Amino acid sequence: MESATKIFKDFQDYLNADHDLREEIRSVVRDLEQTAREIQTILQAIHQPSNASNATSLCDQATTHFSKVREHYSSLAAKILEGQYYRFNDHWKFGTQRLVYLSALIVYLKEERLASREETAETLGVKTKREEGFHIDLDDYLMGILNLTSELSRLAMNAVTAGDYSKPLKISKFIGELDSGFRLLNLKNDHLRKRFDGLKYDVKRCEEVVYDLTIRGLVTVEPEKKAA
Amino acid sequence: MAMTGMRQAQHRHKKSPQKRHGNSPAKGAKDQKDLDLDESSAVIQAFRVFQNELDNRNDRNERIVKLSRDITIESKRIIFTLQRCVGSENKEDVLNEAKVKFKELHESKFFPLALELEGQDPYQYLKAFSPGLQEYVEAITFFHYVSGGNLVDIERVQSDLTFPLKTLQSSEVKTPTQSTVIDKEHDASHPINDESSQTKSQVIIPIPPSEYMLGVADFTGELMRMAINCVGARDLETPSVVLDLMRVINSAFTNFGNIPRELRQKTRVLTQSLQKVERACYTLRVRGSEIPTHMLADVFTTAGSMPSYNFNTEDMDENFD
């Protein structure tokens, strides 16, 4: 029975250590999510008609906050032992998804292209691959990109309101391309799959905007863009 | 009527694809190419990489789930074997039989599982192999209890699930099925994995302490069954010995702080099993004097079944896993 007592004492120690570590992780993740919200607030201004032209300066302003993000991630990474990323992954999942979306939004606004997983990881100050250490989980990256499509389909509408008729066409083409990209993936019946099922509504919303513009002759669609 | 209807349907089926082809051959094909198969696009190239990564991960997950299921089934069988110890004349034979089964289980299921986990983050796949692992911990704890009367510690269980790579080569020669598993592993995994498995001297299935403890919680269910069976076999000593250990475990479990939810649920079941055995011991004391021993067994199987209702539902849930 003495051995049993030791077994249970060891386990209690393990539970306590686990609990303490999770508390520490939670506190860092709280800061991380706070920073993400600040960035989000800055970038929300892109929907304002008055800001339609100075998206670049908004992006620059938002980009400065990513130095804080990198600090948070490095203190988070320091707490996680090798091979235990997925033990605690649930804590920062949503924060990471949101930050992927925000950094990908900045890249799109500036260069009208998809932010690769590598450069997103760099912006966040984490690794790309699991083998290299604290990384972006592929699911979280893809979730972030799916959040981006929702935001862009909203931007397509608001761009029209602001008098920018060319942006919706580009966004529609971009989302269409992402849609065919996601169709390549054999998704299991999980949260990513559910979120992906919502992508078609983003595609549809963009197509409707393009349709509205085209039918009123507000834009002339060039032949090669017809497919999009 | 039905026949003509069917014919018409067939006719339509045959016709429709032709029609589609005839109507818009150029446009349909072009749409496909532009939207789905533009391999030069950076987006598509990136998603090809993701596709490959997701497929690899899902395949590995699937293989692990399969192994876990096999481990669950085999562990349950071993537990049944061990329950036969009770009242058996040749306890040693039963223990040896269990030992052989464990060895077989280690070689044919756990070793391939360890190879799947090699170079991975085991927590990423924990959900896939946790049911099997817990059932195994239950079986091995029960085995050690029956043979030694003690609760086995996690280090001992872990050492059984650690495979030096020398046995890898020898068992490769022994069983052809395993070598095919290894070949598959090498094909599917990244080159990085191959390098690390070459430099490492052993592969292990890491047992998270909470998984071990969940297995121990299930083991108390077996203790209860054993105690009740003992009475059936007219062994009136064992239930009180078993009860001692159950009390130790129960008081430890109820004292745990910061306890995960899954373990809290099992603690409730444990308390119920404990009370069931306590009730049996009580009945034994009170009525033991008035009932002949061979009739006592019937008393317990009926007296025990009433408060065990919750326990049984829990047990059914377990079987659905």
Cα dihedral sign, A139-A140-A144-A150: positive
Answer yes or no: is pLDDT of B317 > 60: no
Within 13 A of B263's CA, how many CA atoms are on the CB side? 22
The answer to whether the CB atoms of A185 and B46 lie below 8 A apart is no
Min Cα–Cα distance to chain A from B287, Å: 30
Query: Of the candidates B162, B184, B207, which is a domain's last residue?
Result: B207
Has residue B297 got a pLDDT over 70? no
Q: What is the pLDDT of residues B90-140, one digit of tens each?
A: 888 899 999 999 999 999 999 999 999 998 999 999 999 999 999 999 999
A contacts of B124 (beta carbons < 8 Å):
85-86, 130
In a domain, B22, yes or no: no
Kindly determine whether residue A184 and residue B44, on different chains, have CB atoms separated by under 8 Å. Answer: yes
Q: Is the pLDDT of residue B236 over 80?
A: no
Condensed to tens digits (0 to 9), the pLDDT of residues B38-97 reads: 777 889 999 999 999 999 999 999 999 999 999 999 999 999 999 887 767 788 889 999
Mutate to test the interface with B, among A170, A177, A179, A191 (most CBs of B within 10 A): A177
Question: Domain count of chain B?
Answer: 2
**Residue B214 identity:** L
Three-state DSSP class for B203? Answer: strand
What mean pLDDT comes out for the span A84-103?
95
Domain-terminating residue out of A136, A165, A200: A136
Indicate whether B232 and B199 sit together in one domain: no
Sequence-distant (6+) residues with CB within 8 A of B6 are none
Phi-psi region of B235 (alpha: psi -120 to 50; beta: other; left: phi over 0): beta
Token output for A183: 């169709």
**Backbone phi, then psi, for A222, in 5-degree steps?**
-70, 150
- Inter-residue contact B189 to B138 (CB < 8 Å): no
In angstroms, what CA-CA distances link A25 with A30, A78, A82, A88, A113? 9, 10, 15, 8, 33
Q: What pLDDT, on the 0 to 100 scale, is given for residue B308?
A: 39
Residue that wins the pLDDT comparison between A180 and B12: A180
Phi, psi of A198 (to 5 degrees): -80, -15
Q: What is the mean pLDDT of residues A32-54?
A: 90
Mean pLDDT of the residues in chain A: 91
Considering CB atoms only, which of B35, B41, B256 is closest to A15? B256
Is A189 in CB contact (< 8 Å) with chain B?
Answer: no
Closest CA to A165 of A213, A123, A227: A213
CB A161 within 8 A of CB A49: yes
Nearest CA in chain B to A10: B209
Q: What pLDDT score was predicted for residue B253?
A: 93
| pLDDT at residue number B280 | 82
**Which residue in this structure is represented by tokens 């990423």?**
B124
Same domain, A6 and A93: yes
Q: What ipTM was estimated for this complex?
A: 0.89
Region A127-132: mean pLDDT is 91
pLDDT for residue A208:
94
* Greater model confidence, B211 or A55: B211
Query: What residues contact residue B255 under an 8 Å CB cut-off, 6+ apart?
Result: A12
Does A17 contact chain B (CB < 8 Å)?
A: no
Say yes or no: B220 and B81 in one domain.
no
Q: How far apart are CA B207 and CA B133, in angstroms?
A: 8
Q: What is the pLDDT of residue B198?
A: 47
Determine the structural domain holding residue A116 and report its residue range: 1-136
Segment A104-129, tens digit of pLDDT: 999 999 999 999 999 999 999 999 99
Instruction: Convert B79-114 to b/e letters by CB count within 10 Å (16 or more is b).
Output: bebbbebbeeeeeeebbebbeebbeebbbbbbbbbb
Given a cut of 70, whether residue A223 has pLDDT beyond it is no
| B110 and B234 housed in the same domain | no
Taking only the tens place, the pLDDT of each residue in A181-203 is 999 999 988 899 999 999 999 99
**DSSP calls for B92-159:** HHHHHHHHHHHHHHIIIIIHHHHHHHTTS-GGGSHHHHHHHHHHHHHHHHHHHHHHHSSPPPHHHHHH
Whether the per-residue pLDDT at A139 is higher than 60: the answer is yes
pLDDT computed for residue B13 by the predictor: 42
**High-pLDDT (> 90) share of chain B, %:** 45
Over range A28-43, report the average pLDDT: 96
Q: Which of A2, A13, A16, A86 to mutate to test the interface with B (most CBs of B within 10 A)?
A: A86
Task: Provide the chain B residues 128-167 that lie in CB contact (below 8 A) with chain A.
Answer: 150-151, 153-154
Chain A residues in contact with B65 by the CB 8 A cut-off are none
Q: Is the pLDDT of residue A2 over 90?
A: no
pLDDT at position B318, please? 41
Note whether A38 and A129 are same-domain residues. yes
What residue numbers bound the domain in which B243 lies?
Answer: 210-320
Binding residues of B: 138, 222
Are B273 and B300 a contacting pair, CB within 8 Å?
Answer: no
Based on the domain organization, do A122 and A174 belong to the same domain? no
